[in-house]
Amino acid sequence: MLLADVSGNNNNKSQNVSKQVNTSDDKTGKKSRNLPHPKIMSYPVAVTPDENNGSRLLIKCFEYIPPDTSLSHGYQVRRSNETGVDERGVKQVKGEYVKANNNDDTLRQFPENIGLSNRGASDRIGEGQKTSHLYYIELPIPQDVNDSNTVTWGDNTMNLFQLAGIKAIEGGLTDTEETFQQAASMFTKPFLQENFSDNPTLRNSFAAAIAGRAVGATGNQIRPNTVLARSTGEILNSNLELLFDSVNLRSFPFSVTFSPRSPREALRVKQIIRALKSSMAAKKGTNKVGQGGAFLKAPDVFHLRYLHNGKDHPFLNSFKHCALTGMQVNYTGAGTYASYNDGTPVNIKMSLTFKELNPIYHEDYDEFSPNDGNGVGF
């Protein structure tokens, strides 16, 4: 089978496809730095990025920028809780502000409002590389286009005794014995004095729960509710409720089919596959020790966009920066192997799985308005 060029002329030569095509056949005529492919790669090659070409998928590749995490906090002065010498050897007086040293009246500064500062990947990479992407690929929009947003909620319980322990800790107690005594008093005062005298059932339930805890402390797997159920026919109210637990990262699987119609288009398919494979691979560190080096650098990352006639799609979802976590190439996309004379497969199916680097937050939707043609947001 011969691979014809776009003009309809058959090429009967068996030479390698890469020798038939200039790799700088995009609009710019330039290669990306140190990359064996053009900076702009469109498939089909007859389509250019600025044409009104319907709906397309744009994949931009960037170098990964690691998180820049830092702690932020303010300072405040505090009063001493006791008279004596503190852990720094500085004399302190109860009720007076804590001194920094014994030589003057300088006050010691304690950190407050401690926070974690960490910009998201889209902020780091987007701001730092607005014009310095490595390359981009424009493909026909996949057949299966969807997005899935999920968050995690989980069952949560808290009975009377657990609540009492939390209340004791919230009171600023640091000593274990003091915490236990305080927690016990929280039970004895309101329950023994106000409720137990007139409510023997509650008194028995309380005693049974304490007995269950005591037996459990010896290593026997007996829950307080077991003792309660056997002795009173009741159990502690667990106050079961569904509570928010965590955010999740979105994944996007795509499948694209290539059917090259010319040597030029066959080379473009090869360039796209090689570029994506290379970008998703980890890089060896600068310290070349052993086969892979002492350290490995993160692979490149990507930003995806749905386009419609060369502009952001007016309806479909947007993306944050993504990692390419999976790639499969089936060179028998039609179910059986068939190739042109130069070895180019007739039908190639490429499956990609992208995963966003950061979760989607409520505030991310503030920049989108469905009334302005910005689509559904994330």
Domain ranges of the chain: 17-67+120-152+248-372, 70-80+90-117, 158-239
Q: Record the pTM.
A: 0.70
Side-chain half-sphere CA neighbours of 305 within 13 A: 17
Q: What is the C-alpha separation between 317 and 300, in angstroms, rounded?
A: 23
CB atoms within 10 A of CB 303: 22
DSSP letters spanning 309-344:
TTEE-SSSPP---EEEEEEEEES-TTSS--B-TTS-
Phi-psi region of 8 (alpha: psi -120 to 50; beta: other; left: phi over 0): left
Residue 337 has what pLDDT? 94
Peptide bond before residue 142 is cis, with ω within 30 degrees of 0: no
Q: What tokens does 3 get?
A: 């691979």
Residue appearing with tokens 């009063």: 79
pLDDT tops 90 at residue 251: yes
Q: What is the C-alpha separation between 108 and 77, in angstroms, rounded?
A: 6
- State the pLDDT confidence band at 29, using cuts at 50, 70 and 90: very low
The DSSP letter of residue 281 is S
Q: What is the C-alpha separation between 118 and 8, in angstroms, rounded?
A: 56
Residue appearing with tokens 């002795």: 231
- Nearest alpha-carbon partner for 353 in 259, 297, 282, 280: 280
- State the pLDDT confidence band at 26, using cuts at 50, 70 and 90: very low
Amino acid at 200: P
pLDDT tops 90 at residue 36: no
Give the pLDDT mean for 333-349.
93
Task: Report the chain's mean pLDDT, rounded to a whole number.
Answer: 76
| φ and ψ at residue 173, rounded to 5 degrees | -80, 135
Residue 45 has what pLDDT? 85
Residue 48 to residues 28, 58, 61, 259, Cα–Cα distance (Å): 11, 12, 18, 18
Q: What tokens does 117 get?
A: 């500062």
Q: Beta strands 251-258 and 296-297: pairing type?
A: unpaired
pLDDT tops 60 at residue 130: no
pLDDT tops 60 at residue 186: no
Query: What b/e readout covers 168-200, taking b as 16+ CB neighbours within 10 angstroms?
Result: beeeebeeeeeeeebbeebbeeebeeeebeeee
- State the pLDDT confidence band at 295, using cuts at 50, 70 and 90: confident
pLDDT tops 70 at residue 341: yes
pLDDT tops 80 at residue 316: yes
Q: What is the C-alpha separation between 249 and 150, in angstroms, rounded?
A: 8
Amino acid at 50: D
| Segments in the chain forming alpha helices (H) | 121-128, 160-170, 176-187, 200-217, 224-232, 263-280
- State the pLDDT confidence band at 27, using cuts at 50, 70 and 90: very low
- Nearest alpha-carbon partner for 162 in 228, 233, 226, 239: 239
- The most confident of the ranges 119-133, 165-179, 240-254 is 240-254
- In the chain, the percentage of residues whose pLDDT exceeds 90 is 35
Residue 282 has what pLDDT? 93
Give the pLDDT mean for 134-162.
90
Give the range among 87-101, 138-152, 203-217, 277-291 with minimum mean pLDDT: 203-217
CB atoms within 10 A of CB 238: 14
